[in-house]
Structure 1
Amino acid sequence: MAEMWKKTVLLVIDMQKDFIAEGSSVQVLGGPAIVPAVIKAVEMSRHRGMLVVWVVREHDPLGRDVELYSQRMYGTGKTGPLVKGSVGGELVDGLEIHEGEYKLVKTRFSAFFATHLHYFLQRAGINRVVVVGVQTPNCIRQTVFDAVELDYESVTVIVDATAAATPEVHNAANIFDMKNIGVVTPTLQEWCK
């Protein structure tokens, strides 16, 4: 088992204040409830000797690197979400990057799209992916589908350490689809055994 964990990465996706804080323009309503589970998943990953990769969004203050539909939130005189160096772009309380872990900045949903993540994981000998964070129909789903397309040996989504706006969106519309393409979907308790 120890050898398997050394070939497994935990991707912690978008656990940033703007996505979790109440009242934020991009808050994921189910996000606050999963913070303790994400903390536990990170602790367990460290205990197992897994690589932890912190996937975050950081945007230009003028929104020149955001999706077209998001550009309305940025520009002169506007303070858009997840701006590089902003408080909203920081990890939520209780989560911090430790020495030897890796921070990956993305500007789109998938952690693999227009980033070097796949090459980084290949060089590290990683062939198994575990995902936690927000938000299930966007960044979680896109990252997971890309990991499947890139032929990672195993792709896992910890169902109670990921969240969406509602349980229906999370479970019925997304976890269901991921299971149908072979993604493993344990609870945190099951994954920790």
Structure 2
Amino acid sequence: MKGEPQQLEANEWILNKPRWGAFFQTSVEKILSGQNISTLVVSGCNFPNCPRATIYEVSERDFRTVVATDAVSGLYPQGEQELENIGVAILKTREIINRSLTQQ
């Protein structure tokens, strides 16, 4: 509950975040850097709050950012356009899976 990650699988963690963005007072950036992760796929509930805050935190740290549009509630066309304007890739979950499978 203090923003420390709990490892679920080899490359899968979960953490409780104290504020809207996933980076605020958590060790998520340290974990990502330690794993040499450069791309994040974001999903979440209620786009105007937590997902948007996290997406901007991800972007300002220069990670490549992908939003799974069908896995983010409350996402609206103007929000998608704003994200594209800052370089966020807007894709459906199936497209993300297909791309990751072809890159393996």
Aligned counterparts of 1:107 and 1:173: Cα–Cα separation in 2: 27
Superposition deviation, residue 172 in structure 1 = 2.5
Give the corresponding residue for 1:156: 66
1:171 aligns with 2:82: no
1:30-41 correspondence to structure 2 within 5 Å: none
Give the partner amino acid of 2:67. Answer: V
* Residues 42 and 67, structure 2, Cα contact 8 Å, conserved in 1: yes
Report % sequence identity.
31
Q: Which amino acid aligns with 1:104?
A: L
Distance of 1:123 and 1:191 partners within structure 2? 23
Shift of 1:98: 4.1
2:56 is matched with which residue? 145
Q: Any unmatched runs of 5+ in structure 1? A: 1-57, 60-96, 165-169
The Cα shift of 1:120 comes to: 1.1
Number of residue pairs matched by the alignment: 93
Q: Is the 8 A contact 2:8 2:14 kept in 1?
A: no
User: Residues of 2 paired with 1:99 and 1:124: CA distance?
Assistant: 14
Secondary structure, counterpart of 1:105 in structure 2: coil
TM-score (norm 2): 0.79
1 or 2, which has the higher strand percentage? 2
**2:42 counterpart residue number:** 131
State the TM-score, normalizing by the size of structure 1: 0.45
CA RMSD of aligned residues (A): 1.8
Q: Contact (CA 8 Å) 2:41, 2:67: kept in 1 or not?
A: yes
Structure of larger gyration radius: 1
Deviation string for 1:84-136 (max 9, x for gaps)?
Answer: xxxxxxxxxxxxx8433212111100001111111111011111111112121
Letter in 2 for 1:99: E
